[in-house]
């Protein structure tokens, strides 16, 4: 596994722990549908939360608007649409980003609620 892949997996683990500590129930990690992947799917406050995790070793270019390109959001939306159609409840969807900066000196986690709003 490459160093970048290992860093990404570590970030996803840290993000999942962070969400659990903040009252999220984790439904899936690394949910894949066709070619689209959603890093974490959780439930909190009657919402299904689709989370894209971005992990870096430095805070450089840490603006959430720059972290996830539109092409990636389109893929996430397709997978989220499939996921929601399979459910029988009336929960609404929310799309978040979790930024994880981790290196030998520190770890910092930031959660951006509703980082992407479809149709806006």
Question: For 43-83, what is each residue's pLDDT tens digit?
Answer: 999 999 999 999 988 877 666 556 788 899 999 999 999 99
Residue 60: per-residue pLDDT: 74
Domain boundaries, given as residue ranges, for the chain: 3-116
Q: Which two tokens stand for residue 50?
A: 């689709």
Report yes or no: 39 and 53 within 8 Å, Cβ to Cβ.
Answer: yes
Residue 65: per-residue pLDDT: 57
Tell me the average pLDDT of the chain. 90
Q: Topology of domain 3-116, per CATH? A: Trna Endonuclease; Chain: A, domain 1 (3.40.1350)
Find residue 100's DSSP bridge partners.
Answer: 55, 109
Give kind and range of the element (H or E) at residue 14. helix 3-21
* Nearest-angstrom CA–CA distance, 22 and 11: 16
Q: Which two tokens stand for residue 96?
A: 């978040």
Q: Is 92 helix (H, G, I), strand (E, B) or coil?
A: strand
């Amino acid at each position: 596994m490459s160093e970048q892949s290992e860093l990404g997996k570590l970030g996803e683990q840290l993000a999942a722990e962070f969400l659990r500590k903040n009252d999220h129930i984790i439904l899936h990690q690394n949910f894949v549908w066709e070619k689209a992947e959603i890093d974490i799917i959780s439930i909190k406050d009657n919402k299904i939360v689709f989370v894209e995790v971005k992990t870096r070793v430095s805070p450089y270019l840490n603006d959430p608007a720059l972290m996830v390109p539109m092409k990636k959001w389109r893929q996430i939306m397709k997978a989220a649409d499939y996921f929601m159609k399979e459910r029988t409840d009336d929960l609404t969807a929310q799309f978040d980003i979790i930024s994880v900066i981790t290196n030998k000196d520190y770890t910092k986690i930031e959660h951006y609620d509703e980082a992407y709003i479809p149709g806006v």
